[in-house]
Amino acid sequence: MKDPGSDRKALRLLLTGGGTGGHLFPAVATAEQVQAVLPESSVLFVGTRRRLDRDSLARSGFSVKTIHSYGFKGKNLWELAKAMLVLPLSLLESCYQILKFNPHVVMGVGGYVTGPVVTAAWLLRRPTLIHEQNSVPGLANRKLGRLVDRICLSLPQSEKYFAAGKTVLTGNPVRRAIIEAGRNKRSSEGRKTLLILGGSQGAQAINEMVVEGLRGGIEAFSALQVIHQTGRDGEQTVRDAYEAMGIDHQVSAFFTDMAELYRQADLIVSRAGATTLAEIGVVGAPAVLIPYPYAADNHQEKNGAWYVDSGAAVMFAQRDLTPQRLAEEILRIINDQARLDSMSKAMKKLGIVDAAERIVDICQELARK
């Protein structure tokens, strides 16, 4: 991609999306890149009133506005009726925020709030693009793909869901701190570190399976450091279990400094969310993937397949996995330095470090038009 140059001008970028960290983190990474290469630019996030969204964006330091918006997919009749009744208000609030901020470009990153905001931008004839993180697009992005000017993709197999000529393979933007962690990763020698992730909200099934697996092989795992992100509901139970087993551990419902955890990790056990995969690709960390079995269109398993086929990860369906089998696989990989090195190199090849730069270039192109 071209370097920042004199033809680049300050950009007013409106970003929208939310519902999970997987949607918000790429938006934050894009905003960081805009302000790094175009420091006089302005960025505004438009999201929902959900606590997860508000807390994540508050930590980013960017301006945030919220609108009333509710999801449609997988909802009961009452929730669908509420979402439909609120939709006109969502559009009006979106139009108001767009007219007030006056962006050059409006970018959606997925989640139901993306629908009304990007639709409002299209109605107001503002340049638009969406970013699709997963191998199978969500409902909002599938519909919006017909309206927007550009569609940025993270994985190569997802272009078949959109009109030809609109898609660009950019990769999934990763926050700058994580890119730096990949450049300064700890040497994989001596005591090994196992990192357990269940996504931005944790995964109870993974919590239970890991704890049971480690309990069956305490002596083997006592040589490791375990860092475990549990989600809100599992924190105390998991911490108590590690303390009872005498395993060196760090446990938290949610870690804010993921860059440092990635820098330490020799092996990661994780769901197969697109943003997590993009991050571990950039840092080059081997992974044992356990896709979320209820993900829409089974997209997590399809996300993970690209990494498995490249030799960067192994993957197990949750229904087929036992604590004993998981523990055996962890020990088999983490105690084999040659395999760790091979998987790490394969993972690093899949990491697209300049994804945010590619997206900012597209925003600049749309703004000039």
Q: Does residue 1 form part of some domain?
A: no
Cβ-contact 305, 315 below 8 angstroms: yes
Q: Does residue 239 form part of some domain?
A: yes
Q: Does residue 3 form part of some domain?
A: no
The CATH number that applies at residue 68 is 3.40.50.2000
Length of the chain: 369
Q: Please tell me whether residues 37 and 142 are part of one structural domain.
A: yes
Q: Please tell me whether residues 38 and 187 are part of one structural domain.
A: no
Residue 242 structural domain: 178-350
Q: What is the pLDDT of residue 264?
A: 93
Q: Please tell me whether residues 107 and 146 are part of one structural domain.
A: yes
Computed over every residue of the chain, the mean pLDDT equals 89
pTM of the model: 0.85
Q: Please tell me whether residues 127 and 230 are part of one structural domain.
A: no
Q: What is the pLDDT of residue 22?
A: 63
Q: Please tell me whether residues 165 and 31 are part of one structural domain.
A: yes
* pLDDT exceeds 90 at position 210: yes
Cβ-contact 306, 157 below 8 angstroms: yes
Q: Please tell me whether residues 62 and 162 are part of one structural domain.
A: yes
Q: Does residue 39 form part of some domain?
A: yes
Q: Please tell me whether residues 18 and 143 are part of one structural domain.
A: yes
Provide the pLDDT confidence category of residue 179 given band limits of 50, 70 and 90. Answer: very high
Q: What is the pLDDT of residue 21?
A: 54
Counting the structural domains of the chain, the total is 2
Q: Does residue 34 form part of some domain?
A: yes
Provide the pLDDT confidence category of residue 24 given band limits of 50, 70 and 90. Answer: confident
Looking at residues 116-136, what average pLDDT do you find? 95
Q: What is the pLDDT of residue 5?
A: 47
Q: Does residue 5 form part of some domain?
A: no
pLDDT in tens, 41-89: 999 999 887 766 666 666 777 888 999 888 777 677 887 888 789 999 9
pLDDT in tens, 225-263: 999 999 888 899 999 999 999 999 999 998 989 999 999
Q: Please tell me whether residues 144 and 48 are part of one structural domain.
A: yes
Q: Please tell me whether residues 112 and 198 are part of one structural domain.
A: no
Q: Please tell me whether residues 68 and 186 are part of one structural domain.
A: no
Q: Please tell me whether residues 111 and 187 are part of one structural domain.
A: no
Q: Does residue 2 form part of some domain?
A: no
Q: Please tell me whether residues 140 and 186 are part of one structural domain.
A: no
Q: Does residue 338 form part of some domain?
A: yes
